[in-house]
């Protein structure tokens, strides 16, 4: 699983002109599921995200997690995180999981996060408009296979 995590002061997902999800302070997580991913990947990634200390403490140092600051998480599916740009100019998405495999892991990941923090989400496979105020900006890429 791959995730792009963005620290946000506010974020929304709009679908067909209607706001589907909205969070105040928290994290926007763009999530890509690969065909080889498992629930173990989802558990590791959810735990890492909830515990990641990327919010400022009283001294302005990144010492607090989303849970520590009472934040929420907005999860948006994004198969394009598994794009391969090695050949040509048109990305290949062959490594991204097909919906029948990706949807159950996406749902599992959201439920793992929801055990720790409030979670909102987009709609898997929908054409979404994601708006956020990226705080910092702080943007972090995580891959469960690399464990970094």
Active site (catalytic) residues: 80
The contacts of residue 83 (CB under 8 Å, 6+ apart) are 91, 92, 93, 96
Nearest Cα neighbor of 78 from 93, 89, 60 is: 93
DSSP assignment string, 41-94: HHHHHHHHHHH---EE-TTS-EEE-TTTTT-EEEEEE-GGGG-B-SSSSS-B-T
| Spatial distance between the Cα atoms of 123 and 137, rounded to a whole number of angstroms | 25
């Amino acid at each position: 699983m791959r995730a792009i995590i963005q620290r946000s002061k506010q974020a929304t997902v709009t679908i067909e002109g209607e706001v589907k999800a909205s969070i105040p302070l928290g994290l926007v997580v763009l999530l890509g599921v690969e065909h080889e991913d498992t629930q173990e990947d989802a558990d590791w990634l959810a735990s890492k995200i909830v515990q990641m200390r990327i919010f400022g403490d009283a001294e302005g140092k990144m010492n607090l997690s989303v849970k520590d600051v009472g934040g929420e998480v907005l999860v948006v599916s994004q198969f394009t995180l598994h794009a391969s740009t090695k050949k040509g100019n048109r990305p290949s998405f062959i490594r991204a999981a097909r919906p029948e495999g990706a949807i159950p892991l996406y749902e599992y990941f959201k439920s793992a996060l929801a055990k720790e923090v409030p979670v909102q989400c987009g709609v898997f496979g929908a054409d979404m408009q994601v708006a956020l105020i990226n705080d910092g900006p702080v943007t972090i890429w995580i891959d469960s296979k690399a464990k970094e």
